[in-house]
Amino acid sequence: MSHNVESTAFRSALEVIRAVEPRVADAIGAELADQRESLKLIASENYASPATLLAMGNWFSDKYAEGTVGRRFYAGCQNVDTVEALAAEHAKELFGAAHAYVQPHSGIDANLVAFWAILADRVESPALKKAQVRQVNDLTEADWFALRRELGNQRMLGMSLDAGGHLTHGFRPNISGKMFDQRSYGTDPATGLIDYDRVAEAAREFKPLILVAGYSAYPRKVNFRVMREIADSVGATFMVDMAHFAGLVAGKVFTGDFDPVPHAHIVTTTTHKSLRGPRGGMVLCGPELADQVDRGCPMVLGGPLPHVMAAKAVALAEARRPDFADYAQRIVDNARALADGLLRRGATLVTGGTDNHLVLIDVSGYGLTGRQAEQALLDSGIVTNRNAVPQDPNGAWYTSGIRIGTPALTTRGLGTAEMDATAELMHTVLTQTSAGTGPDGAPSKAKYVLDPATAESVGKQAADLLTPFPLYPEVELG
C-alpha cells in the first residue's frame, strides 16, 4: 500500500464522494481503470497532471466572478483575481503574447470570443456597442435586428473540414457558420499540403474580414508568416486556432514561421489537448484587441470557472518547465516513428507522413471505411477516431480515414520503439479486417469481419505494451 500524497488525496476525495453517491465514486474509479488499460491514440486527448486535476476540485467552483481581474461585477473576488492573473501571466510568458484571456470554458468559446472581438474591432456598429455594455436580456427586438443588419454578411476564409479544418471555422453545424459568410481553402490533391498560392488567390477573390488558420486533422506544419502576408494583402484579420498543437508551440517545437503567436493578430486554443492542462480554452492577442477580448464575458461567455482557471495556472506553470519542451519534442518524434512504422508496412498516409503530433491514415487501401477500421481497432484495444480525408468519398460519418496522435501515449512515457510496435498491431488489425455485408447481402459501410481471436491477441499485446508505462503511477486507489 502506497502512502504518497497523490494517492492519499484521490483516495480521500473518493471516500468523501462515496459517502453521498457511491455510484459516482465507482464511475470515477472505473474511468481511471479504463484509461490505464487503453492504448489511447486519440489525437485531441491527453492526461493532465495530478496537480492540475486536484486544482479543479475545490470551493473556487462556488464563486461568481464575471468581469476581469480587478474589475468584477461581484464582490469578494480577490482570490479569483490571484489565480486568473497567474494563469494569464504564465500564458503570456510561455507563448510570448502581449495579452492572455484565460476565461473561455472551451475551444469553441475561445473562438466565439475571438470572432466577436474582431467584429467589434473591425465593423462600425452602434448596435454592437450597445450590446456590449448591456446585459443581453436588456436588448430589444429592434436592437437585435440592428445588430444583425450592421454585422451581417461578414466574410471568413478558413480551412475546409475535409482538409482538416474545424467546425468552428465557419461551418454550418456551428454558430460561426450562421454568423459568417464562409469560404474555405483546401489542400493540393496531389500532395495533401496547403497550397499557399491558392489560399492567396481565394483571399484576393473573396476579400474576407477574417482569415483563419488552424486544424484538427492536418498532419503538417503551417507557415504562419506566409498566411499573415496573405491576410495583410487583403486587409483581413489573421486568426490562428492552435487548439490541437498549442503544446508544440509551448514546447518550442514550432518556432519561427511556424509559431503562430508572433504572426497572428489573435490566437485561440484549448488547454486540454497537447498543452496537457484542464478542459478549457484561452485567447492570446496583442494590445490592439485586448479590450475587446476581455469583453468575452458577458458578451458570449457565462461566468468564468475559477476552479478551472486555477488548474490552467498550474498546467501553464508546468508547461514553462524545461521538461515540457522535452515532452513536446518526444510527441513529434513518436508521431514520426508511428508514421514511418505504418508506411513501412504499406499504409497510405495523407500527405505521406507527419511533422506534428498526428497522423491521418487513409484506410481505403485496406478496403475499409473509417468507421469499420475504428471499430475493429477498438475491438483490439486500440482507441482511435475515424476522420474524413480530403475529398472523402464516404463523407463525414463513415469516412475513409483514421486519425491518430501521440500526446497521450507520450505523457505515459512510451517512446519510438513502442510506436513501431503500435504500428505493427494496427497493421495486423487493418489487414485482418474485411468489410461486412448488410442483411440483404449488400456491401456495408459499417459492418466488418474480424476474427475474435485476432482481436484478443492484439488486445493482449497492446496491454503488454502499456505495462512498463503505468498511467498515474503516483496514484493508487487501493
Ligand X SMILES: *Cc1c(COP(=O)(O)O)cnc(C)c1O
- How far does CA 225 lie from the centroid of its chain? 22
Q: Rule CB under 6 A: say whether 385 interacts with ligand X.
A: no
Smallest gap from residue 277 Cβ to ligand X (A): 11
Q: Catalytic: which of 18, 36, 64, 82?
A: 64
Is 11 in the active site?
Answer: no
Please tell me the distance from the alpha carbon of residue 6 to that of residue 12, in angstroms, as a whole number.
Answer: 10
Asked if 380 and 455 touch (Cβ cutoff 8 Å), the reply is: yes
C-alpha separations of 431 from 367, 388, 417, 426, 451 in Å: 9, 20, 21, 8, 12
Q: List beta partners, residue 237.
A: 210
Cα angle at 253 between 248 and 257, to 5 degrees?
100
Within 268-307, the residues that bind ligand X by CB under 6 A are: 270, 281
Nearer to ligand X, 42 or 421 (CB): 42
Please tell me the distance from the alpha carbon of residue 333 to that of residue 116, in angstroms, as a whole number.
Answer: 38
Residue 406, CB-side half-sphere exposure with 13 Å CA sphere? 31
Is 66 in the active site?
Answer: yes
Smallest gap from residue 106 Cβ to ligand X (A): 3
Q: For ligand X, how many residues bind (rule: CB under 6 A)?
A: 14
In this chain, which of 50, 158, 208, 214 binds ligand X, going by CB under 6 A? Answer: 214
Q: Rule CB under 6 A: say whether 259 interacts with ligand X.
A: no
Q: Catalytic: which of 270, 369, 384, 399?
A: 270
In this chain, which of 168, 354, 387, 410 binds ligand X, going by CB under 6 A? Answer: 168
Smallest gap from residue 133 Cβ to ligand X (A): 27
Q: Catalytic: which of 220, 273, 330, 445?
A: 273
* Per-residue contact string for residues 225-244; x = within reach of ligand X by CB under 6 A: ----------------x-xx
Q: Rule CB under 6 A: say whether 106 interacts with ligand X.
A: yes
Cα pseudo-dihedral 467, 333, 388, 155, rounded to 10: 130
Q: Which stretch binds ligand X (CB under 6 A): 9-17, 47-55, 208-216, 443-451?
A: 208-216
Q: Rule CB under 6 A: say whether 221 interacts with ligand X.
A: no
Q: Nearest to residue 245, comparing CAs of 52, 44, 389? A: 44
Is 336 in the active site?
Answer: no
Is 279 in the active site?
Answer: yes
Is 64 in the active site?
Answer: yes
Smallest gap from residue 1 Cβ to ligand X (A): 37
Cβ-closest position to ligand X:
107
* Per-residue contact string for residues 307-336; x = within reach of ligand X by CB under 6 A: ------------------------------
Bridge pairing between strands 180-185 and 154-159 = parallel
Nearer to ligand X, 115 or 366 (CB): 115
Task: Using CB atoms within 10 Å of the CB of residue 199, give its burial: 0 to 12 exposed, 13 to 18 middle, 19+ buried.
Answer: buried
For the residues of 353-412, what is the DSSP string, one character each? S-SSSEEEEEGGGGT--HHHHHHHHHHTTEE-EEE--TT-TTHHHH-SEEEEE-HHHHHH
Please tell me the distance from the alpha carbon of residue 11 to that of residue 18, in angstroms, as a whole number.
Answer: 10
Smallest gap from residue 131 Cβ to ligand X (A): 23
Smallest gap from residue 164 Cβ to ligand X (A): 9
Asked if 28 and 57 touch (Cβ cutoff 8 Å), the reply is: no
Smallest gap from residue 171 Cβ to ligand X (A): 11
Smallest gap from residue 230 Cβ to ligand X (A): 19
* Per-residue contact string for residues 27-46; x = within reach of ligand X by CB under 6 A: -----------------x--
Nearer to ligand X, 44 or 356 (CB): 44
Task: Using CB atoms within 10 Å of the CB of residue 353, give its burial: 0 to 12 exposed, 13 to 18 middle, 19+ buried.
Answer: middle
**C-alpha cell, 140:** 430589444
Q: Which stretch binds ligand X (CB under 6 A): 7-15, 102-110, 377-385, 423-431?
A: 102-110
Q: Catalytic: which of 45, 66, 474, 476?
A: 66
Task: Using CB atoms within 10 Å of the CB of residue 307, give its burial: 0 to 12 exposed, 13 to 18 middle, 19+ buried.
Answer: buried
Cell 476522420 found at: 387
Is 270 in the active site?
Answer: yes
Nearer to ligand X, 216 or 400 (CB): 216
**C-alpha cell, 247:** 503544446
- In the chain, % helix, strand, coil (3-state, to 5) comes to 50, 15, 35
In this chain, which of 65, 91, 94, 108 binds ligand X, going by CB under 6 A? Answer: 108
Q: List beta partners, residue 360.
A: 403
Q: Catalytic: which of 18, 92, 183, 279?
A: 279
Nearer to ligand X, 351 or 380 (CB): 351
Q: Note if the bond before 393 is cis, omega within 30 degrees.
A: no
In this chain, which of 107, 186, 278, 381 binds ligand X, going by CB under 6 A? Answer: 107
Nearer to ligand X, 183 or 447 (CB): 183
Smallest gap from residue 27 Cβ to ligand X (A): 21
Region for 238 from its dihedrals, namely left if φ exceeds 0, alpha if ψ lies in -120 to 50, beta otherwise = beta
Active site residues: 64, 66, 241, 270, 273, 279
List interacting residues with ligand X (CB under 6 A): 44, 106-108, 166, 168, 214-216, 241, 243-244, 270, 281
